[in-house]
Amino acid sequence: MEYITLNNGLEMPMVGTGTNTYGKENHEYNAALTNEIPELLSALELGYRSIDAAIIYRNEELVGRVLAESTVPREELFITTKVPGDEEYISSKEATRAAIDNSLKNFQTDYLDLLLIHFPIDDKGQLQNTWEVFEEYYEAGKLKAIGVSNFGKHHLEELNAFAKVKPAVNQIQINLTEPNKDLLAVLKEEGIAPVAWGPMKAEAHQKEVLDEIGESYKKSGAQVLLKYQIQRGVIVIPKSHNRENQASNLDLFDFVLSAEDMKKIENL
């Protein structure tokens, strides 16, 4: 595994696994929860240590139970979860504290590695209150890093107007169909690490080129696409329910894309 050093000095794995359909019937986001989560068990067995969760996925408790019962020591795990922008969670500082405390309980841990605001909060007062609670838990050591998700440039500017602690990451959609180049440039300038959700998305003609590039490295087009993101400093959180695909998505550190191939992918 390779790691990126966040702007507060914390190291985060460059590859993690998403969990938004884990432990759900038919692997569907809105489906009922099951009591088992084999996809996470196989991910842990394969070596995944960065686990990306969220309150709105409804499966924090199940994910947390599996992590707590696994043989992987807590200090080797990097647990991320997210607080939604719903009134239930951001109507007051007390509501936000309750949300964080409940996540800590769900994960059976006394700290989270990364906590994100899941979506932009339009009300500036609520945004400030929410972030101040994040900072409070960060200063207390209950959060090792804090950040945001799905924030655009103007959302970051609103946050930076009062934030004492700069967000460590911004988790956004980054793939070949939604490259988000302008926002990536802003994040690089601000020293905020980009985390890509949906990193595997690509059109058919793009996949053909990725497959062609992969042949010379004896890698799949999907591996080439993930490597492209990692090689330019973008953290990826691909998700799969298939053990072979999980293994493939982690097998990215025995090759380096040439500058020519990096440019070719960038121009797709």
Q: What is the pLDDT of residues 82-95, one digit of tens each?
A: 999 999 999 999 99
For the question of residue 57 being annotated catalytic, the response is: yes
CATH superfamily of 11-202+234-242: NADP-dependent oxidoreductase domain (3.20.20.100)
Distance separating the N- and C-terminal Cα atoms of the chain: 27
Separation CA 220–CA 218 (nearest Å):
7
For residue 101, the model assigns a pLDDT of 98
Given 57, 89, 137, 138, the catalytic residue: 57
| pLDDT more than 90, % of the chain | 100
Neighbours of 176 (CB within 10 A): 20
Work out the average pLDDT over 191-202: 97
pLDDT, the chain, mean: 97
Contact 68, 97 (CB under 8 A): no
Pairing, β 3-5 against β 11-13 = antiparallel
Strands (E), 113-252: 114-117, 146-149, 169-173, 193-197, 235-236
Kindly list the domain boundaries of the chain, sorted by start residue. Answer: 11-202+234-242
